[in-house]
A and B are shown apart, each in its own frame.
Chain A
Amino acid sequence: MSTVFNLPVYGAGILLAAAAALTLYGQPDLDQKWGFMAAEYGARLENREVYVDPGELLQRMNDDYIELIIFDLREERDWNIFHLVDSERVSINDLPAQRDRLRNLSELSVVVLVSNDEILSTRAWKHMMALAKPNVYILEGGINHWLNVYGVKHEEQDDHAAASLDRPDGSLRHPFKYALGARHAAAQPDEHHVPQREYTEKVRLLKKIARAGGCG
């Protein structure tokens, strides 16, 4: 009788030990989770498949068919100086809070991540893939490159010298005269008055995988 009684006790002990070990081992954070996914999705970064040219982003900003969401990952100070019209400022640490929204995006949704260079936006891209695998892209060259292309001379202090992209450090290297946020001309370039750019189209609309589940 005593041996029969011991079995559930051993079982309970094993389960508790497994749970204790689980607590010590911990659940993966977003960077670690990306580590598990990198083999499958990392190529998209290496092959530059998800980096979109400023010209393509401009075209998408004027595309009524899609639902464009621009996440600006930068600090508030840079945001106040200049940001793209209709973009949303989201700190990288606040991305998990966007999880449910990202998972429920329509098939017509396109998310573009923006930072001064590509450092922050690329890390955010990895986090977003770990969170929700949405249809997400990165602005190539970041805001610095965007302003090289679409910046307006008289709004910048040094007469709109092109910012160097060789040694990106995540800083905004276009000194503006005034912090006008999205009210700068370059925040919403008029596509009919800026030079046409040639680029490889990267943005595609993805077919949503129907997620089954739910008993009710």
Chain B
Amino acid sequence: MNKLSENVKYWNPYVGGVLLGILLFLSFYVAGHGLGASGGINRIAVAVEDMVVPEHVDKSPYLAPLAGGDIDPLNNWIVLEVAGVMLGGFVSGLLRGRVRLQTYRGPQITPRTRWLFAFAGGVLMGYGARMARGCTSGQALSGGAVLSVGSWAFMFAVFAGGYALAWFVRRLWQPGA
């Protein structure tokens, strides 16, 4: 599983960046706003919660605007976009034979360890994305492209947080020393 040889199969990041930039522009042009992801996750989570404890959702000031009463939290552009992302990722993977049940992990750890930390990372991300009111797609990419101050501050904070912790979790990713 040589990382370098796998890179050859992927697009040049500049190419990916240009295409993504064009797509981002088209999104603004056609829909008046950029991309997103964490908002869709949030809405799905709220929808599930609404099925289980609807009275609680109705009473929460954070959830009621999304799903209180008859409001359908899934009836929103971002849920459709999230579905599209999965579809697009699937098709791209399918065309290149990358759809396979497996675990991507650093060579020093077991799959189980990877699963644990992936879960932990997801929890942090989910929490942080709500705190920041967006994620790399919605805030960094979209907000960044339209020069929002908060989005740029957010973006630098993400990089800062990642680099600050990188050394401490290097065993998750680095080859054995």
Chains A and B share a contact (CB less than 8 Å): yes
Task: Report the Cα distance A211→B77, complex, angstroms.
Answer: 11
Take A8-B14, A11-B14 as given contacts and tell me if A212 and B138 are in contact as well, using a CB distance cutoff of 8 Å. no
**Residues 46-90 of B contacting A (Cβ, < 8 Å):** 76-78
Q: Are B14 and A214 in contact (CB under 8 A)?
A: no
Q: Are A215 and B32 in contact (CB under 8 A)?
A: no
- With beta carbons under 8 angstroms apart, the residue of B32, B36, B39 that contacts A211 is B32
- With beta carbons under 8 angstroms apart, the residue of B14, B31, B137 that contacts A215 is B137
Min Cβ gap A27→B in Å is 11
Chain B neighbourhood of A211, CB < 8 A = 32
Chain A interface size range = under 10
Q: Are B33 and A216 in contact (CB under 8 A)?
A: no
The answer to whether the Cβ of A213 comes within 8 Å of any Cβ in the partner chain is yes
Chain B neighbourhood of A214, CB < 8 A = 33, 36, 39, 133-134, 138
- Annotate B110-144 by CB proximity to A: 1 below 8 A, 0 otherwise: 00000000000000000001101111011100100
**Residues 183-216 of A contacting B (Cβ, < 8 Å):** 211-216
Nearest A residue to B133, CB-CB: A216
- Annotate B16-57 by CB proximity to A: 1 below 8 A, 0 otherwise: 000000000000000111111111001000000000000000
Q: Are A216 and B32 in contact (CB under 8 A)?
A: no
Chain A neighbourhood of B36, CB < 8 A = 214-215
Min Cβ gap A26→B in Å is 16
Task: Report the Cα distance A215→B76, complex, angstroms.
Answer: 11
Q: Which of A212, A213, A215: most chain B Cβ within 10 A? A: A215
Q: Are A216 and B14 in contact (CB under 8 A)?
A: no
Take A8-B14, A11-B14 as given contacts and tell me if A213 and B129 are in contact as well, using a CB distance cutoff of 8 Å. no
Take A8-B14, A11-B14 as given contacts and tell me if A215 and B77 are in contact as well, using a CB distance cutoff of 8 Å. no
Take A8-B14, A11-B14 as given contacts and tell me if A212 and B129 are in contact as well, using a CB distance cutoff of 8 Å. no
Nearest B residue to A7, CB-CB: B14
- Annotate A1-16 by CB proximity to B: 1 below 8 A, 0 otherwise: 0000001100100000
Task: Report the Cα distance A7→B38, complex, angstroms.
Answer: 35
- Annotate A154-175 by CB proximity to B: 1 below 8 A, 0 otherwise: 0000000000000000000000
Chain A neighbourhood of B77, CB < 8 A = 212-213
Chain B neighbourhood of A7, CB < 8 A = 14
Chain B neighbourhood of A215, CB < 8 A = 35-39, 78, 133-135, 137-139, 142
Min Cβ gap B41→A in Å is 10
- With beta carbons under 8 angstroms apart, the residue of B31, B34, B35, B132 that contacts A216 is B132
Q: Which 5 pairs from chain A and chain B are nearest by CB?
A: A215-B138, A213-B33, A216-B133, A215-B36, A215-B134
Other A-B contacts than A213-B32, A215-B134, A216-B139, 19 sampled, CB-CB below 8 A, are A7-B14, A8-B14, A11-B14, A211-B32, A212-B31, A212-B77, A213-B31, A213-B33, A213-B77, A214-B33, A214-B36, A214-B39, A214-B133, A215-B36, A215-B37, A215-B135, A215-B139, A216-B42, A216-B132
**Contact sample, A vs B, 10 pairs, CB 8 Å cutoff:** A212-B33, A213-B31, A213-B34, A213-B77, A215-B35, A215-B78, A215-B135, A216-B130, A216-B138, A216-B139
